[in-house]
Amino acid sequence: MIPVQGYDGRHVAVLGMGRSGVATAKALEAGGAIPIVWDDSPTGRAAAEANGWALRDLTAAGGFDGIAALIVSPGIPHLYPTPNPVIAAAWDAGVPVDNDIGLFFRSWATDDWDGFDSAPRVIAVTGSNGKSTTTALIHHILVQNGRPAQMAGNIGRGVLDLDPAHDGEVVVLELSSYQTDLARHLTPDVAVLTNISPDHLDRHAGLGGYFAAKRRLFAEGGPDRAVIGVDEDEGRYLANQLVDDLSDDRLIRISVTRKLTSGWCVFARKGFLSEYRRGQQTGSIDLRGVAGLPGAHNHQNACAAYAAARTLGIGPKGIEAALHSYPGLPHRSQLIAERRGVKFVNDSKATNVDAAAKALQAFPKIRWICGGLQKEGGLGPLIPHLGSVVQAYVIGREAESFARQLPGVEAQVCGTMEVAVAAAMRDAHPGEVVLLAPACASFDQYDSFAARGDDFTARVLAAL
C-alpha cells in the first residue's frame, strides 16, 4: 500500500466505495488522514461501515465542513454529461477534487529514495485501444530482463494498492481518460499514447474533450520521455507540440501505417518492427512469429512497448526475447482453442468500432460474433474492413439494428451468445476464425466485457 501524503490529521472525503474507493480510503488512513466516505448505494455504504469509516451525506447542508479534499472514483461523472451532485457541492464549498491517480503521484516518492542507487520510475500508458496490452507487455519485458517492476491502474491492482518502491523499480500504469481527466498530479517519467479513436464521448462531451483528457498526461505531466502513436491526427498534433524538432530525443514516434526515419521512431510494416534514431536503423524484430501479438493492432502495441523499454536502456535483443514469451491478455485477441482447422478467438475487449475494425484486419476469413450496446458514431469506420467477414452472428439488445448496418455481409440475428456460438461453430470451415469482436459495450447483457468474453470462452470449450 502507498500511504497518502499531505493529509495527516485532516478529514478527506471519498466518493464511491468500489475497488478504487476502498483502496483510497485505506491508503488515506495509512497516511494519517481521517476518511469521511459516501456511496449512493446501500451496498457501498455497508462496505464503508464494515471498514469502520464514518459516513456522511456530502450533499447535505454543511456536508463539506472541515473537509480538506474530495477523492472521486473514476466511474463517477465530474463534468459531463452532468456533474455528480457531490462533486458540484464540493465546487460550491471550494473543496479540491482529485482521484486516486493524483494521490499516487503526490505520494509515490518518499525520503527512503535518498538511499537508493537508482530512483524508481513510472511509465504511464493511455490511448483508446491497446493500452492494456501495451501496459502488460512493457511489464513483461521489464520482468524478463531482470528489472523490478509492478503493474497497476486500469489493469491489475489499484495504484494505491502498490507496494512501496524498491531501488530502481519501474511502475507501469494503464490510465483511462476517466483517470487522466481529473488527476491533479500527473508526473510520469515516461508517457505513452497508443492511438486515439472516438470513445466515451458522452463522458467528455465529444472527441475534443476526450482527446483533451488524454493530452493532460503529456501537457501537464511533463514526462522526461514521450512515446506517441502518430497514425491519427491527434497523435501527430501532440507529437508536434512536445518538442521543437525531431532531433529531440524526448520524443519517440510510433506507427503501423507508415515508414518513419526522422528523429527517434519505431514502426512496423508487413510484420517487421524497425527502430530508427537520427536517420540510422538501430533495431529490427520479425513480429510475424510472436504468437501472443497477432495482427497489425498488436504490432502497434509492440512498437509502443518496444519504445518505452528502449527509454530505459533495454536492448533490442532483450526486448525481442520477451516478446516471444509474452502470453497475451484475456479477452484481447485471445486464442481460446483450435479444432479441425478452425480457430476460436476472444476479443471481447473490442468494445468500440475502431478496436473491432483492427480485430477484423487480423484474420483473412472470419465468422464474426458481434453486437451489444452500441456507442455513439455508428458503424461507419467498420465498413471498409468487412471483406474478411464470411458471416456475422449478431447478439445483444440491438441485434437487428446492428445487422442492418453491415452492407454486403450475410448477418444472422442470434440475440444471445449461446445461439451465436452454436451457429458459428456449425458453419465454420477449416482455415476460418470464429471471432468475438463485438464493437459494442456489453452492458445490455453482461456486467462487463470480461463476463461477455468468459461466456464466449465457456460455450466454445463446452462444445469442443
> Binding site for ATP: what residues are annotated?
127-133
Please answer whether residues 440 and 375 qualify as being in contact, where contact means their C-beta atoms are separated by less than 8 angstroms: yes
Question: Would you report the helix, strand and coil content of the chain in percent, each value rounded to 5?
Answer: 35, 20, 40
Say how far apart CA 256 and CA 130 lie, in whole Å: 13
Which of 391, 395, 413 lies closest to 404, judged by CA?
Answer: 413
Rounded to whole angstroms, how far apart are CA atoms 397 and 349? 18
Residue 63 CA neighbour count, 13 Å, CB half: 22
Element (H, E) at 97: strand 97-98
Written as nine digits, the cell of 455 is: 461466456
Rounding to the nearest 10 degrees, give the CA dihedral for residues 221, 222, 227, 229: 70
User: Is the CB of residue 305 less than 8 Å from the CB of residue 141?
Assistant: yes
Whole-angstrom Cα distance, residue 69 to residue 73?
13
Distance of CA 438 to the CA centre of its chain: 17
In DSSP terms, 255 is beta-bridged to 267
Are 264 and 306 in contact, with CB atoms under 8 Å apart?
Answer: no
Q: Which residue numbers belong to the known binding site?
A: 127-133
Phi-psi region of 333 (alpha: psi -120 to 50; beta: other; left: phi over 0): left
One-character DSSP codes across 41-53: SHHHHHHHHHTTP
Contact 299/268 with Cβ under 8 angstroms?
yes
Identity of the amino acid at 74: P
Give the Å distances, CA to CA, from 339 to 289, 336, 342, 364, 434.
21, 10, 5, 17, 11
Q: What are residue 123's phi and psi, to 5 degrees?
A: -110, 125
CA distance 326 to 137: 7
